[in-house]
């Protein structure tokens, strides 16, 4: 039973005991504190019981029914997304075509995440520690924003956010495509060096 339904039961109970709407609201405030229904809602439900209403369940709402939490609807959406990916990017539908690269932060390396990735057969490309040269944000995105904002004075934090956001929006699909090509080249260089130190691209 939801907390609102529970409170409606008590409103009905108070009405049957001959309490007033104000007394009922005060009693609910004592019992539920900040979780109490609004005064207007308490008075509205009190009035409904006074007019002969017997059920404490809320009325069906008109309009489109809520479907966002419906398992059947969730499955339909998943299927639609998979079908769209199959049509538009068939190479992503092949088994083993997805690889996840992450920076080993606790959120990414948590046991539940590792289980999910293993269950779905998603190979993980781990980020070696202290290797910003292999993280696209470190070698591509952050420097791009930094160069655009360098030597500029800003009035406040909001202006900094606004300018940084504007720079992010200017990054094109081609820029990202080149970034990922460069990223793959960096992997190959690291693998070819077998972990030895090297400088430059």
Residue 201 has pLDDT above 60, yes or no: no
Q: Which CATH topology does 3-50 take?
A: Arc Repressor Mutant, subunit A (1.10.10)
Give the phi and the psi of residue 64 in degrees, each rounded to 5.
-65, 130
Reply yes or no on whether the pLDDT at 79 is more than 70: yes
Q: Above 70 in pLDDT, residue 139? A: yes
In this prediction, residue 200 has a pLDDT band, given cuts at 50, 70 and 90, of: low
Task: Give the percent of the chain with pLDDT over 90.
Answer: 23
* Rounded-to-integer distance, Cα 174 and Cα 164, Å: 19
Asked if residues 121 and 96 have their Cβ atoms less than 8 Å apart, the reply is: yes
Please give the Cα distance from 124 to 172 (Å, whole number).
Answer: 27
Q: How far apart are CA 180 and CA 48, in angstroms?
A: 63
Tokens of 35: 């979780």
Whole-angstrom Cα distance, residue 183 to residue 136?
A: 7
Q: How do residues 81-131 score in pLDDT, each as one tens digit?
A: 878 777 777 766 666 666 677 777 777 778 888 888 888 777 777 776 667
Whether the Cβ atoms of residue 113 and residue 87 lie closer than 8 Å to each other: no
Q: What is the mean pLDDT of residues 136-161?
A: 89
Distance CA 190, CA 132 (A): 13
Interval 31-56 mean pLDDT: 89
Cα–Cα dist 63/88, whole Å: 34
What pLDDT does residue 57 have?
Answer: 86
All CATH 1.10.10.1450 domain ranges in the chain, comma separated: 3-50
Higher-confidence residue of 108 and 25: namely 25
For residue 198, pLDDT over 90 is answered with no
């Amino acid at each position: 039973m939801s907390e609102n339904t529970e409170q409606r039961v008590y409103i009905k109970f108070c009405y049957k005991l001959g309490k007033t709407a104000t007394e009922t609201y005060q009693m609910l405030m004592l019992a539920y504190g900040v979780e109490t229904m609004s005064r207007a809602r308490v008075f509205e439900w009190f009035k409904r019981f006074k007019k002969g209403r017997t059920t404490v369940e809320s009325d069906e709402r008109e309009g489109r029914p809520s479907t966002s939490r419906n398992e059947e609807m969730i499955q339909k959406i998943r299927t639609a997304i998979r079908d769209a990916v199959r049509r538009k990017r068939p190479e992503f539908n092949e088994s083993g075509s997805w690889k996840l690269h992450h920076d080993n932060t606790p959120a990414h390396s948590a046991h539940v995440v590792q289980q999910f990735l293993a269950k779905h057969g998603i190979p993980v490309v781990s980020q070696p520690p202290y290797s910003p040269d292999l993280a696209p944000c470190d070698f591509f995105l952050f420097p791009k924003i930094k160069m655009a904002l360098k030597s500029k004075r800003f009035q406040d934090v909001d202006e900094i956010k606004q300018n940084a956001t504007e720079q992010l929006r200017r990054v094109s699909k081609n820029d990202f495509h080149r970034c990922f090509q460069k990223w793959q080249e960096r992997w190959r260089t690291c693998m070819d060096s077998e972990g030895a130190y090297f400088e430059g691209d």
